[in-house]
Structure 1
Amino acid sequence: MSSLTGTGTLVRLALRRDRVRLPVWTVVFAAVAASSAAATAAIYPATGDRQGAADSINSVPALVALYGPVYEPTLGATSVFKLTAFGAALIALLMIFTAVRHTRAEEEAGRRELLGSAVVGRYAGLAAGLIVTAVSSLALGLFSGAGLTAAGLPVAGSLAFGLGWASAGLVFGGVAAVTAQLTKSARAASGLAVVALLAAYLLRAVGDSAGPHWLSWASPIGWTQQVRPFAGDVWWVLIVPLLAAAVLTVVAVVLAGVRDLDAGLLPDRAGPAHAGRSLSGAWGLTWRLNRANLTAWLAGYVLLGPVLGGLAGNVGKMLDSAGARALITALGGEQAMENAFLAAEFSMAAVITSAYAITVLVRLRAEERASRVDPLLATALDRRRLLAGYLLLAAAAPVVLLTALGLTAGLAHGSRTGHPGTEVARLVGAGLAQLPAVWVLTGLAAALFGFAARAVTLAWAALATFLLLGEFGTLLKLDQWALDLSPFTHLPRLPGSVVHATPLLWLTALSAALITAGVLGFRRRDIVA
């Protein structure tokens, strides 16, 4: 029997499992790229406007470190400067989880061993995971390029941009395939790959902020920028990530051949001799399982806050065309633009924080699928207490995350204005004002999990729908009732606007009702694998 026997069947199985998840994210990324192009064309209609914007962007080191430089003042290059590196990192993250889901996670759940007893080759699972990751990366990149073309940008630059995104997915899919051979758990494999992604993004940030620097070329994220879509379209750079992905694939295959099934090459770290208080009760177990993930998210928010606070003071410089200046004046000056910028960033932070809340409930679903919930419920632990531990974390962790973001952004912005105390209070308040919408997504995920465990993943589709409504609802001239379907529509645009308590109270009441429904549903349904 060939070592690749059954690969096609496993590929079809993996694509069936991801038939909702991957198409949804592909549409989201393509839509975001297209909307960015449309918005940039409206703000910077002339070459002189874009030249001034490019000069302003490239003169702010923090902005260059976060997103990368604008290589040429073309409409396309100006449109995608925020998306090229940052979007590539998000796609890399998606492909890391995809590769681990179809390789190491299958072994951890015991399904790979079961399939291995049939007519399935030794490397079929790894090959299937890599093929699905490659196909998904390419499809996402091509659809995103098509979105840019539909928005009126040149075809060649749009294709170069899409292939750059796809190359990031290929490389980090290969990184995840390697880490899946090194560790025994899917979480550890994903964690190692994410650390590699963060290191790559940091290398690119340091290299770009220092000007043309070799560190930018040392990063796979930097390679996507060096393709320079709409700024010369340097096609040969795509050979570099392709070679890197090929090398990583060979390394993964070699490592898979020298390890045992369901084992990792890195030694397992021994746990404590006694569980102690960290495992006392449902809450202790929930915290133990989720603390590493929350710590990583918190670190990201603490690092992101100063960047947002620092960028707010430079936002007026980025809009230096005559029309943009008139708009700034009409809105109340640069202070109003700073508030608008911060409000937009905190709105996006609310969406991202909702994603964290959903992952907490998805983790409980993973515990159920792994048959680790049944033994717990066979003890004196009540279903309501088990679910309550996860709900408490899903509701309380966003408070911590958004407070940390507001605190660090306020300190950074306040150090420039000379009023750190005032800015901290304003921006912490702006962060906490996002909580009712985050809690609605938490409640929706809880309700879906409570009534049908498999349906909890639909919370991701709901989040993507709300994101699309917020990004494109106005551009598509949708009716207000359609826009009102998103809980984020009802949030105040803080800082800088008036807070009305009524919509916040209604959103909080809705989240409480959804959470209650989820608890009641979980009490009655069967535990399923």
Structure 2
Amino acid sequence: MNGLAGTGTLLRLALRRDRIMLPAWVYVLAAATVSTGYSLGRLYGTAAAREQFAASMNANGSLRALYGTVYDASLGGLTAWRMGAFGAALAGLMSILLVVRHTRAEEEDGRLELVGAGAVGRRAPLTAALLTALVADLLLAALVAAGLAVLGQPVGGAVAFGLALAAAGSVFAGVAAVAAQIAETGRAANGAAGAVLGLAFVLRAAGDAAGPDSVVRQARWLSPLGWSEQVRPFAGDRWWAVALGLLTACVLAAAAYTLVGRRDQGAGLLPQRPGPATAAPALRSQLALARRLQSATLYGWCAGFAVAGAVSGSVARGVASLAGDNRQLADILSRLGGRQAVVDAYLASILGLLGMVAALYAVQSVQRLRGEETGGRAEPVLAAAVSRAGWAAGHLLFPLLGSAALLATGGLAAGLTAGAVLGDSSGRLGGLVGGALAQLPAVWLTAAVVLVIFGLRPGWTAAVWGVPGAFLLIGWLGPVLRFPHLVLDLSPFSHLPRLPGGAFEPQPLLWLTAVTAVLTAIGLAALDRRDLG
């Protein structure tokens, strides 16, 4: 049989399964890029203002580490600077999740074995997964290019920027394809590919932060995210840098094709070690089982939050320089309370973003219930003296306490680094940790909504990423695009106090927590009444 037989059918199936998740990813990334260009145009309306802004960014090593180097002071060049590193990283994350979802996760759940029993080639599932990621990346490139062109930017630079994001996404699709052959579980494959993505971001940041004569600056060439930056959209349009990313993606895909033919179906090249025949006393409970299943994921998220908080806090000293001589922005900062207030506003926005990211972890933790159910692992547990509510409660402790650990870690890291660069360690630490923990009620409410969907409509659980995605879209783009207050109020994050710098109001936190308790009770009651599986 042809090794690619059935690829078209599997591709259509993958696109149908991702008909909600894939457009949501692409739309949010494209809309964030275009709205960033629009807002930069309003803040820096003259060429002189943009030139001064670009010079101040390039003079600050911390900001270069976070966003990259500004290569062109036009509106398109500033948009590529502001969204290049993060946009490429998010495109890579999207591709990783798509490829692992349609390869290793399918094998782990046993569905790929059923598919492979038909007229399907050995390499067809991998090919369909890579094509799905490629479709998403190219669609993102097209929307970004079209959006920037509508804003009046040169078409060549807009296309170069879109393809730079697509090339980065393609590279990490190849990384995920290789990881799916090596690891034996979807979580391990996602973790390995995510670690490569994190290393790529660190290498790119280290290279940009280094001086022009430093050897460390060459670290950018070790990172696919650095290649995306070196496309330099609107500043020469280096098409060969796009080709470098696409060539690397092809090499990684070829490696994955080679590996898929050298392993057994359902097994990885690095199989998991078998555990002991008898569980230790500390593992003989439902809560202990949930801890064993979810703790590794929590540790990985905590490490990510520590890095994100430390990097964000280290930039605090250079935030006030963003105003430059822009009179419009200076007036805004004056109304906010001066440069000290804008630093607080920046830190509050970072904590808000960490809260939204923590909501993604909370959703993933609740989704673990559905994974245990569909994988057939919940039924043996419930056959013992374990109630459905008790089984679910063991896993729900992670969105409850695990998200608190994430936010505390991010707030602590941000507080330590911001206090160090601002010379106010004791004053910043408590405020940032408290501001981070103030995000918890909104995170818990997001998890409770997902629990209700799991209890009432378990078949919709795969689409629950739309819940935090909608909240992120409203919170991120709503103020920029001036959404009506009725729409902004749909996100629980819009009701939280802006800390540090803002007044602490406990009422929103209390009623968000009360709504969370009610939704949790509804979700558990629905789970107790429906058929399992």
TM-score by length of 1: 0.96
* Residue of structure 2 equivalent to 1:464: 469
CA deviation string 1:200-248 (max 9, x = no partner): 2222122222245332112111111011112221112111111111111
Return the alpha-carbon distance in structure 2 between the equivalents of residues 384 and 196 of structure 1.
Answer: 38
CA contact (8 A) 1:383 1:522 kept: yes
CA contact (8 A) 1:277 1:284 kept: no
Residue type of the alignment partner of 1:257: G
* Residue of structure 2 equivalent to 1:221: 225
Matched, 1:243 2:247: yes
* Residue of structure 2 equivalent to 1:358: 363
Return the alpha-carbon distance in structure 2 between the equivalents of residues 449 and 294 of structure 1.
Answer: 21
CA deviation string 1:29-73 (max 9, x = no partner): 111011100111111111221222112212222221222111121
CA contact (8 A) 1:34 1:150 kept: no
Q: Residues 143 and 6 of structure 1: is their aligned pair in 2 closer, same or farther, counting only changes over 3 Å?
A: same
Matches within 5 A, 1:206-217: 206-211=206-211, 213-217=217-221
CA deviation string 1:164-205 (max 9, x = no partner): 111111111111111111122222222221122122222212
Return the alpha-carbon distance in structure 2 between the equivalents of residues 416 and 208 of structure 1.
Answer: 19
User: How big is the shift at 1:403?
Assistant: 1.3
* Residue of structure 2 equivalent to 1:504: 509
CA contact (8 A) 1:103 1:125 kept: yes
Partner of 2:500, secondary structure, is: coil
User: How big is the shift at 1:266?
Assistant: 2.0
* Residue of structure 2 equivalent to 1:104: 104
Residue type of the alignment partner of 1:150: V
Q: Residues 357 and 511 of structure 1: is their aligned pair in 2 closer, same or farther, counting only changes over 3 Å?
A: same
User: How big is the shift at 1:438?
Assistant: 0.9
Identity of aligned residues (%): 45
CA contact (8 A) 1:36 1:80 kept: no
Matched, 1:317 2:317: no
Q: Residues 17 and 473 of structure 1: is their aligned pair in 2 closer, same or farther, counting only changes over 3 Å?
A: same
CA contact (8 A) 2:70 2:77 kept: yes
Partner of 2:315, secondary structure, is: helix
Return the alpha-carbon distance in structure 2 between the equivalents of residues 68 and 148 of structure 1.
Answer: 20
Return the alpha-carbon distance in structure 1 between the equivalents of residues 37 and 11 of structure 2.
Answer: 35
Q: Residues 270 and 306 of structure 1: is their aligned pair in 2 closer, same or farther, counting only changes over 3 Å?
A: same
Residue type of the alignment partner of 1:309: G
Q: Residues 329 and 267 of structure 1: is their aligned pair in 2 closer, same or farther, counting only changes over 3 Å?
A: same
Partner of 2:203, secondary structure, is: helix
Return the alpha-carbon distance in structure 2 between the equivalents of residues 408 and 188 of structure 1.
Answer: 26
Which of residues 284, 288, 291 in structure 2 aligns to 1:280? 284
User: How big is the shift at 1:327?
Assistant: 2.9
* Residue of structure 1 equivalent to 2:65: 65
User: How big is the shift at 1:471?
Assistant: 3.0
User: How big is the shift at 1:527?
Assistant: 1.1
**Gapped regions of structure 2 (runs ≥ 5):** none
User: How big is the shift at 1:472?
Assistant: 3.2
* Residue of structure 2 equivalent to 1:371: 376
Residue type of the alignment partner of 2:148: L
Matches within 5 A, 1:271-310: 271-272=275-276, 274-310=278-314
Residue type of the alignment partner of 1:459: V
Which segment drifts farther, 340-349 or 112-121?
112-121
User: How big is the shift at 1:478?
Assistant: 3.5
CA contact (8 A) 2:348 2:499 kept: yes
Matched, 1:17 2:17: yes
Which of residues 440, 448, 453 in structure 1 aligns to 2:453? 448
CA contact (8 A) 1:278 1:285 kept: no
Q: Residues 417 and 5 of structure 1: is their aligned pair in 2 closer, same or farther, counting only changes over 3 Å?
A: closer
User: How big is the shift at 1:331?
Assistant: 2.3
Which of residues 484, 495, 502 in structure 2 aligns to 1:479? 484
CA contact (8 A) 1:37 1:153 kept: no
Partner of 2:465, secondary structure, is: helix
Matched, 1:518 2:515: no
User: How big is the shift at 1:462?
Assistant: 2.0
Matched, 1:413 2:404: no
Which of residues 331, 335, 345 in structure 2 aligns to 1:326? 331
Q: Residues 211 and 74 of structure 1: is their aligned pair in 2 closer, same or farther, counting only changes over 3 Å?
A: farther
CA deviation string 1:475-519 (max 9, x = no partner): 444332222111111111111111222222111111111111111
Which of residues 389, 392, 411 in structure 2 aligns to 1:387? 392
* Residue of structure 1 equivalent to 2:493: 488
* Residue of structure 2 equivalent to 1:341: 346
Residue type of the alignment partner of 1:222: G
User: How big is the shift at 1:273?
Assistant: 5.3
Matches within 5 A, 1:74-85: 74-85=74-85
Q: Count the aligned residue pairs.
A: 528
Task: Show structure 1 runs of 4+ deviating over 4 A.
Answer: none
User: How big is the shift at 1:521?
Assistant: 0.6
* Residue of structure 2 equivalent to 1:261: 265
* Residue of structure 2 equivalent to 1:205: 205
**Gapped regions of structure 1 (runs ≥ 5):** none
* Residue of structure 1 equivalent to 2:54: 54
Residue type of the alignment partner of 1:451: L
Return the alpha-carbon distance in structure 1 between the equivalents of residues 330 and 48 of structure 2.
Answer: 14
TM-score by length of 2: 0.95
Q: Residues 457 and 184 of structure 1: is their aligned pair in 2 closer, same or farther, counting only changes over 3 Å?
A: closer
Give the aligned CA root-mean-square deviation in angstroms.
1.6
User: How big is the shift at 1:385?
Assistant: 0.5
* Residue of structure 2 equivalent to 1:433: 438
* Residue of structure 2 equivalent to 1:128: 128
* Residue of structure 1 equivalent to 2:140: 140
Return the alpha-carbon distance in structure 1 between the equivalents of residues 413 and 15 of structure 2.
Answer: 41
CA contact (8 A) 2:310 2:414 kept: yes
* Residue of structure 2 equivalent to 1:114: 114
Return the alpha-carbon distance in structure 1 between the equivalents of residues 200 and 490 of structure 2.
Answer: 38
CA deviation string 1:72-94 (max 9, x = no partner): 21211212313111221111111
Return the alpha-carbon distance in structure 2 between the equivalents of residues 24 and 277 of structure 1.
Answer: 44
CA contact (8 A) 2:408 2:437 kept: yes
